[in-house]
Amino acid sequence: MRLAPSSIRGRLIAGTVAAVAVAFVVVGVVVLVLTRSSLRTQFDDGLADKARELAAQIEEDDGKVSSEIDPRTIAATEAFEIWAEGHVLAKSSSLGARDLVPERDEHVITSVQLGSHPARQITLHVQPRREPEDHGAADDDSRVVLAFARSTEAVDATVDRVAAVLVGVGLAGILLCVVLLFGVVRFGLSPVRSLAQAIAAIREDDLSARLAAATTAAELAPVAERLDELLGRLAAAFARERELTAEIAHELRTPLSGLRATLEVALDRERPADRYRTALVECLAITRQTEGVVESLLSLARLDAGQVVIAATPIDLDQLVRDVLATVHTRATERHLEITTDLPPITRTLDRDKVRVIITNLVDNAVTYAEEGGHVRVELAGDVVRISNTGCTLDRDQIAHVFERFWRADASRTASGHVGLGLALCKKLADLLGATITAEVTGGRFIATLTLPS
């Protein structure tokens, strides 16, 4: 099985094997240390017992110290040496010309070399054994020094065997762990594979599939749910893209058809100059309308792509609103609209051009959709710009869609020359500025409220 360096499977196996190896090493070292300590303690106890046995075989008779140690009781891996009054009283023949070095302190066990082998040595300061009849005769308190050593070769060999066994068991355990982990991790990650297969089965032309039912792992359920939500948003985005494409084609086809028809009528035969001029004026009006649609689409596209930056400067909101109202004065007069304002002096630091586009679209929307002879009101109050018009027939469900692109409540809006991009552009610009924009209907009056950032 090939493992990618950054795969979850590789990380799980590598991490678990490393943890198991560390655990084996720690346990092995602890076991080895405890075993070595236990064997050394047993060895030292045996060493001390044997030294006391030898000490019991040293006696004093008529002031003369002698040793009754039988050389046959001394193993080849053992050696002893006895000193009385600074002179060697007896020692093992295996020592030859060599001597043991006694310790100053009694019952001290130290590590020494016995020939070429490591050994342990104990030193005893003993009172020679006396016959009962000699106890009263002896006035001195002579003591004898006994040094007894025993090779630790057997203990060291046992420790080495235990270490070898621990190493072998540890390596076998790690190998077994690796083998088992491949199976366990493969089984444990099977829900991930199932989820990946379910994702791979989703076709770009059908995003209706859902992944929550494709996994049985509780840990993957949140991931599947978020992916389902993403698929839902993608499906909605693709649907909006298809609708947008169709709407753009429809909106551009209408003015282009009108432009073509006007030109064909003007060119089908010779006409007076004023008729050509009229045709050109109509073509210019259609071109401007189409240009407005394209400019709105480009603005929305730039906003969607995050390519629009904010250039904030101090602006007089009341004067900006008055300038916008001046641009619709002629249309308002033609439709006999009454426009009332409440514009106290207000200065804010904002992006003038973007705020102007928002207010222009809101005012244009109010003038366009107010009924003939209706009323439009524009108010400023702190950070709030409120623009309303009478003659609104939208219900609450329809109000929820007014900021959607190309949305129109009925065919009458199509005839007005608006294609449903103005309010959508207002919403995107408001979001960019950190402002909020809402719409509501109260008593047949459409009210758009723009709340600017403080």
Q: What is the pLDDT of residues 292-307, one digit of tens each?
A: 667 766 776 776 667 6
Q: Hey, which bits of 262-304 come out as E strands?
A: none
Could you tell me if 332 and 425 lie in one domain? yes
CA-based torsion, 101, 105, 107, 108: positive or negative: negative
CB-based contact 63:138 (threshold 8 Å): yes
* 111 is a domain residue: yes
d(C-alpha 228, C-alpha 103), whole Å: 83
Distances from the Cα of 143 to the Cα of 82, 84, 129, 138, 139, angstroms: 11, 7, 10, 13, 13
Can you name the residues that pair with 60 across neighbouring β-strands? 65, 130
d(C-alpha 88, C-alpha 84), whole Å: 6
d(C-alpha 229, C-alpha 385), whole Å: 36
Residue 133 pLDDT grade (very low, low, confident, very high; cuts 50, 70, 90): low
**pLDDT tens digit sequence for 329-381:** 988 999 999 999 999 999 999 988 888 888 988 998 899 889 999 999 999 99
Q: What's the gap between Cα 395 and its chain centre?
A: 46
In this predicted structure, which of 1-10, 220-229, 400-409 has the lowest mean pLDDT?
A: 1-10
Could you tell me if 262 and 280 lie in one domain? yes
Could you tell me if 57 and 117 lie in one domain? yes
The domain that contains 389 carries what CATH number? 3.30.565.10
- 243 three-state secondary structure: helix
The domain that contains 285 carries what CATH number? 1.10.287.130
What is the extent of the structural domain holding 246? Answer: 218-304
Angle at 371 between CA 368 and CA 372, to 5 degrees: 95
The tokens for 76 are: 């080849």
Q: Is the pLDDT reported for residue 411 higher than 50?
A: no
- 108 three-state secondary structure: coil
- DSSP designation for 87: E
- Indicate the burial class of 449 (C-beta count within 10 angstroms; 0-12, 13-18, 19 or more): middle
Distances from the Cα of 123 to the Cα of 126, 156, 281, 362, 392, angstroms: 10, 22, 127, 109, 115
d(C-alpha 18, C-alpha 2), whole Å: 19
The tokens for 293 are: 């649609």
The tokens for 131 are: 């016959």
Q: What is the mean pLDDT of the chain?
A: 83
* 200 is a domain residue: no
* 50 is a domain residue: yes
Could you tell me if 270 and 323 lie in one domain? no
Q: Is the pTM higher than 0.75? A: no
* 203 is a domain residue: no
- Indicate the burial class of 42 (C-beta count within 10 angstroms; 0-12, 13-18, 19 or more): exposed
* 195 is a domain residue: no
**pLDDT tens digit sequence for 308-327:** 778 889 999 999 999 999 98
CB-based contact 69:80 (threshold 8 Å): yes
Could you tell me if 252 and 286 lie in one domain? yes
Looking at 92, 126, 159, the residue that finishes a domain is 159
* 299 is a domain residue: yes
Q: What's the gap between Cα 407 and its chain centre?
A: 41
- Number of Cβ atoms within 10 Å of the Cβ of 429: 24
Could you tell me if 400 and 320 lie in one domain? yes
d(C-alpha 3, C-alpha 12), whole Å: 11
CA-based radius of gyration for the chain: 52
**pLDDT tens digit sequence for 415-425:** 444 556 778 88
How many domains does the chain contain in total?
3
- DSSP designation for 206: B
* 132 is a domain residue: yes
Could you tell me if 155 and 14 lie in one domain? yes
d(C-alpha 150, C-alpha 44), whole Å: 9
Residues 6 or more apart whose Cβ sits within 8 Å of residue 294: none
Could you tell me if 296 and 372 lie in one domain? no
Looking at 262, 286, 304, the residue that finishes a domain is 304
**pLDDT tens digit sequence for 34-64:** 999 999 999 999 999 999 999 888 888 777 8
The tokens for 117 are: 């082998």
State the pLDDT at residue 414: 44
Q: What's the gap between Cα 109 and its chain centre?
A: 59
Could you tell me if 292 and 330 lie in one domain? no
The tokens for 62 are: 């008529």
d(C-alpha 68, C-alpha 73), whole Å: 11
Amino acid at 82: I
* 196 is a domain residue: no
Residues 6 or more apart whose Cβ sits within 8 Å of residue 268: none
Looking at 138, 159, 180, the residue that finishes a domain is 159
Can you name the residues that pair with 119 across neighbouring β-strands? 112, 151
Could you tell me if 269 and 372 lie in one domain? no
Could you tell me if 139 and 258 lie in one domain? no
SS3 content of the chain, % helix, strand, coil (to 5): 55, 20, 25
CB-based contact 266:272 (threshold 8 Å): no
Could you tell me if 300 and 322 lie in one domain? no
